[in-house]
Amino acid sequence: MTKALALIAAVAAFTATSVSAEGLPERIKTAGKIIIANTPNYPPMEYKDPATNELKGLDIDLGLALAKQLGTKVEWSDIGFEQMVSSVTTGRVDLIHSGMTDTEKRRDALEFVDYMRSGAQFYTTMNHKDAIKTEADLCGKSVGMSRRTTFPDETAKWSAANCEAKGLPAVKVVGTEGSADARTQLKQGRVDAAVQGSETVPYLIALEKDAYYSVGKPFTAVYQGIGFSKKDTELRDAYVGALKALMASGEYKAIFAKYGLEDAALEGIYLNGAPAK
């Protein structure tokens, strides 16, 4: 292939996969930025570097890559998780990208472009290694988890099927102010175990050597999604195009590989928990 033909092929490939600012709503094109709700307390998905206060994490890298693909910039808005849905529906922010699980209940107010697999995972500290060896050992134990997530309901359902149904005492679900609070209570001995997303537990184990271990395998299978107002279909569709482009270029998988989460990456586009048609 001549250099000229190679250049033409490269341009054609770029044109086929890139998304421009033309696909964005007029308000975002005018502002030159997308305002994204994010709570940076969920490593390795989103967190602040303690040395520099810089936002880091898989969600941050992916959010910036998507915005770049769309030809715009990101303004991160640090909003409490419980306020995120209302912030999108009232127009305070443009979308949510913050480790949010795509659930049927949340679909009452939001549309989701899913971008990774996840699941609820039990874990505990090494000083419980003799008493808690399997999930069944958690029956009757106190387990901490963020009350603002889907984990309390999911854990209660797991307990009903795996503890009460077998004549064992129920798991004592302890709602916390977030995953960091759950870890603090676990370290202080106020709870016996905790629940976090399956994508975060390996990070914790690697970060604090010989401090934690996972108990069993993830007991749910869910998707995490970027949340949009149901009326903001133009922005949602622009993100679908941008995500397709990142998947086609290999940048999407490279971001997941950076955090050792290759198994959490999706092979195609999912909307509201189902493959896009």
pLDDT reported for residue 41? 86
pTM: 0.81
Phi, psi of 21, rounded to the nearest 5 degrees: -65, -10
- CATH number for the domain harbouring residue 158: 3.40.190.10
Do 141 and 256 belong together in one domain? no
Burial track 135-158 (b if 16+ CB lie within 10 A, e otherwise): bebbbebbbbbbbbbbbbebbeeb
- Token readout for 24 is 């964005």
Q: Are 89 and 76 in contact (CB under 8 A)?
A: no
Domain finish residue from 192, 215, 238: 215
Q: Average pLDDT of 119-123?
A: 96
User: Which is more confident, 87 or 5?
Assistant: 87
Residues 183, 169: Cα–Cα separation, whole Å: 23
Q: What mean pLDDT is reported for the chain?
A: 91
Q: Average pLDDT of 181-202?
A: 95
Number of domains in the chain: 2
Q: Which of 173, 207, 217, 179 is nearest to 191 (CA)?
A: 173
Domain finish residue from 163, 181, 215: 215
Rounded percentage of the chain residues whose pLDDT exceeds 70: 92
Residues 183, 124: Cα–Cα separation, whole Å: 9
Residue 178's pLDDT band (cuts 50, 70, 90): confident
- Evaluate if residue 2 carries a pLDDT over 50: no
Domain that holds residue 173: 120-215
Do 106 and 171 belong together in one domain? no
Do 70 and 104 belong together in one domain? yes
Domain finish residue from 215, 233, 257: 215
Phi, psi of 34, rounded to the nearest 5 degrees: -115, 130
Do 51 and 157 belong together in one domain? no
Distances in whole angstroms, Cα of residue 97 to Cα of each of 52, 62, 122: 22, 9, 24
Do 102 and 14 belong together in one domain? yes
pLDDT reported for residue 22? 63
Do 96 and 230 belong together in one domain? yes
Do 198 and 256 belong together in one domain? no
Do 9 and 113 belong together in one domain? yes
Residues 207, 112: Cα–Cα separation, whole Å: 31
Do 236 and 256 belong together in one domain? yes
Strand, helix or coil for residue 120: strand
Q: Average pLDDT of 166-188?
A: 95
Do 20 and 37 belong together in one domain? yes
Do 137 and 188 belong together in one domain? yes
Residues 57, 50: Cα–Cα separation, whole Å: 13
| Sequence-distant (≥ 6) Cβ neighbours of residue 7 within 8 angstroms | none
Q: Average pLDDT of 30-57?
A: 95
Do 111 and 234 belong together in one domain? yes
- Of the candidate ranges 16-20, 102-106, 126-130, 249-253, the one whose mean pLDDT is the lowest: 16-20
